[in-house]
Amino acid sequence: MPGADLQGALIRALERIAVAASEALELKDVFAAVADAAAEILPFDRMSVLQFDGTHTLRLHSFAGSVPASPPTEVGLEDFSPAVRPSLDGARRIDDLGPVLSPLYKVDRWWSEQGVRSALWVPVILRGHPAGLLCLTSRRPGIFTPEHQAALGSISALVGLALEHERLWTLDVARRRRLEAIDQLLPTMAEGLEVRGLFDRISKVVQPILPHDRLILVSRSADGRLDTVDALSGDPATAIPSRMDHGPGDPPPMLEYELVRDFEDEEDGLRRRVSHSEGIRSALLIRLWIDKTGSASLGFLSRTPRQYSEEDVVVAQKVAAHVSVTLSHQRLAEEQRLAFEARERAAHLEGHVQELKKELETSRGHGRIVGVSKRWNDVLTQAAKVAPTETTVLLTGESGTGKEVIARFIHRGSPRAHGPFTVLNCAALPETLLESELFGYEKGAFTGATTARAGRIQQAEGGVLFLDEIGETTPVLQVKLLRVLQEREFQRLGGARPMKADVRIVAATNRDLESAMARGAFREDLYYRLSVFAIHLPPLRERPEDILPLAEAFLEEIGRAVARRAEGISREAEGLLVSYSWPGNVRELHNVLERATILCDGGLITAEHLPNDLSTPSPGAPRVGAASAPEGGLNLDAAEREVLVRALTAAHDNRTHAARLLGITRPQLYRRLRKHGLSQLHTSAAD
């Protein structure tokens, strides 16, 4: 085949192989596609993929071609004679095997029996290391050319990707099976056992899934200097002391998890001496959140060095979660005061809401919360309830209702309060930029990616990631977000390894996601993952009691920003503010007051400083006066009646004058008088 034709055919073959590698998880399906595509450009009787196991063994993973007899399923490099032995460091081509094959070697004998005369193989490189060999053989001598060798090298790169794809999939399946096994086994633990018996039971249950010689529960003192062994599985006779004093100096940190490959590799210290005396070589320590302090850990101890890897962490954390729940239940059962605790939790929640609200009301910037209405306080109560958990929260409501304020409220009241609060507006970026901004990217992931960059998920590590306008994301990005929520992991663009997503997601949208699901514009599985705890924020028109308190808070904030605070708001202007429907909600109210503050030049904000739109009453929204809100909330009907009485009194019962004072027409005044039963209380000859 001419060089140009070979190049074009190679490109088409590589495209077919790439599609197969991306769509299939089973290697046999991928390699069948590789063989079919390669047969169009390479002259071979058999194609083989030999997978390297890290020693000297090559396992035949797949084969295709016209040779009927089965080759050996597992060979070592020593099974090739020195004259034909492949190298994992580079490609090799042999034009004539006949004179050099030796019957003393297994592979040589098999090739001789099949009449193989020429061979070509190239190494398969995976993560920078040899992963195996891609081999071609033929009964014809001298059949392979340097062009064939180059083409096979390109194919081997895609074969390496397929092997990595299969490896990651296999690890994921194995991890899922282990997690499912834990879910099935641990609930069999009986409640009410003593701690000692509980740990022996857990150890027995978990042993097949996460091998260990000892299971240990350690709690740490408040100053971090003293570790106490609360429970230890196995033989009571042990060299592990019941208490370990770390002495002066900084105490060792309490990590979310710690993987100790081999205690013998550590510097001489208390941990190494204790582990050596017990014969413990490796450990996996998981932090427990039994009483919200995170001052305890569950340890899996093994006498085998390097027993544990990163793949064991998720499994161990699942066990630790079950242990936390079991121990918590045990403590609750011992206290036997569930009803009292429920009342205490309710009182604590109410106090927590008020404490957070007061703190945020007096803060500067984004976190400020103002409102007296029942609907707004219901929102705060829900937010306070979910804040201490790790539950994903979905905030819904019209634009400008304060969804980011509530997200920050949740962050402030959570165990992640000392972590970052990171915001990403999903509607502000195109899909390609949004994905790189969210997940980050590796160097060389795309043109211009000269260095690796952490995405918002990594930037929010240990804290909260607020995804605003989540309804604007594309289906492709929704799939990747679903993996973050389900598996707590993600991959950077251009990256090959999954990364841990230690982040809590709070999402927000002003769209109707259920309607979007019906149209196929939003994934159903992602919606249910996001809306584990949904909070709806009412529009400002449905909580008019909050308008004037918000206005007062905004004037103070705006006054600092423009360096000239307005003296206040006239009663007429207050009536306009309360009666307006505020389609832009709190954000629109802020903008209107900022404009009015500038126009009034430090004086009183009157109706003339407000936009003309506010002078037109909204349908069904009567104007009320500026009676100050009583403690506990504003009764709009009572406030309106009081304003009508005051206006009539000030106008000496002249209704034309009273209507002018209120900024409404005479027919509107008469309707309101009839509504409140005032039409017969005041008469005026001046009318």
**Residue 338 backbone phi and psi in degrees, to 5:** -65, -40
Question: Is residue 391 classed as helix, strand or coil in its secondary structure?
Answer: coil
**Final residue of a structural domain among 335, 357, 376:** 335
Domain CATH number, residue 434: 3.40.50.300
Residue 368 scores a pLDDT above 70: no
pLDDT of residue 456: 92
Asked if residue 231 is part of any domain, the answer here is: yes
Q: Is the domain of 220 the same as that of 326? A: yes
- Do 504 and 560 have their domain in common? no
According to the model, what pLDDT value does residue 682 have?
Answer: 45
The phi, psi pair for 457, rounded to 5°, reads -60, -45
DSSP states of 432-474: HHHHHHHHEE-TTSSTT--S-EE-HHHHTTTSEEEEETGGG--
Please work out, in degrees rounded to the nearest 5, the angle formed at the alpha carbon of residue 276 by the alpha carbons of 271 and 281.
85
Instruction: Provide the whole-model pTM.
Output: 0.43
Residue of 164 and 684 predicted with greater confidence: 164
DSSP conformation class of 416: T
Indicate whether 563 and 524 sit together in one domain.
no
Q: Which of 151-165, 268-282, 329-343, 361-375 has the weakest average pLDDT?
A: 329-343
Looking at residue 686, what is its pLDDT? Answer: 39
pLDDT score of 348: 63
Are residues 579 and 498 both part of a single domain?
A: no
In a domain, 185, yes or no: no
- pLDDT band for position 193 (50/70/90)? low
Place of tokens 């009412």: 538
Average of per-residue pLDDT across 584-593: 90
Same domain membership, residue 680 and residue 547:
no
The CATH number linked to 586 is 1.10.8.60
| Domain of residue 672, CATH code | 1.10.10
- Is residue 178 in a domain? no
Token pair of 332, please? 């609750």
242-295 pLDDT, tens digit each: 888 877 777 777 788 999 999 888 888 888 888 888 889 999 999 887 766 667
Q: Which of 86-100, 223-237, 360-374, 512-526 shows the lowest per-residue confidence on average (mean pLDDT)?
A: 360-374
528 in the same domain as 488:
yes
| Structural domain total, the chain | 5
User: Do 257 and 121 share a domain, yes or no?
Assistant: no
pLDDT digit string (tens) for 317-352?
A: 888 887 777 776 666 655 555 555 556 655 666 665
Candidate from 146-155, 210-219, 426-435, 659-668 with smallest mean pLDDT: 659-668
Residue 625, domain member (yes or no): no
Residues 112 and 201 in one domain: no
Domain final residue pick, 512, 535, 558: 535
Same domain, 281 and 219: yes
Distance CA 594, CA 557 (A): 9
Q: Are residues 575 and 501 in the same domain?
A: no
SS3 for 80? coil
| Average pLDDT along the chain | 80
pLDDT for position 620: 44
As a whole-number percent, the residues of the chain with pLDDT over 70 amount to 80
Label the pairing between strands 282-288 and 257-260: antiparallel
Q: Which of 169-173, 419-423, 516-520 shows the lowest per-residue confidence on average (mean pLDDT)?
A: 169-173
The residue with greater pLDDT, 614 or 299, is 299
What is the DSSP code string of 174-199? HHHHHHHHHHHHGGGSPTT--HHHHH
To the nearest 10 degrees (0 to 180), the angle between helices 585-600 and 571-579 is: 160
pLDDT one-digit tens code per residue, 469-489: 999 898 889 999 999 998 899
Statement to judge: residues 32 and 12 lie in one domain: yes
Range from 31-40, 79-88, 231-240, 481-490 that averages highest in pLDDT: 481-490
Query: b/e for 269-295, b at 16 or more Cβ within 10 A?
Result: eebbebbeebebbbbbbbbbbbeeeeb
Whether 311 maps to a domain, the answer reads yes
405 and 530 fall within a common domain: yes
Domain-located, residue 180? no
β-bridge partners, 385: none
Last residue of a domain, one of 111, 135, 170: 170
Domain of residue 289 covers 195-335
Place of tokens 């192989």: 17
In a domain, 619, yes or no: no
Report the 3 state secondary structure along 42-60: CCCCEEEEEEECCCCEEEE
Query: If 0-12 CB within 10 Å is exposed, 13-18 middle and 19+ buried, where does residue 412 land?
Result: buried
CATH label of the domain that carries residue 215: 3.30.450.40
Task: Give the confidence band of 359 by pLDDT, cuts at 50, 70, 90.
Answer: low
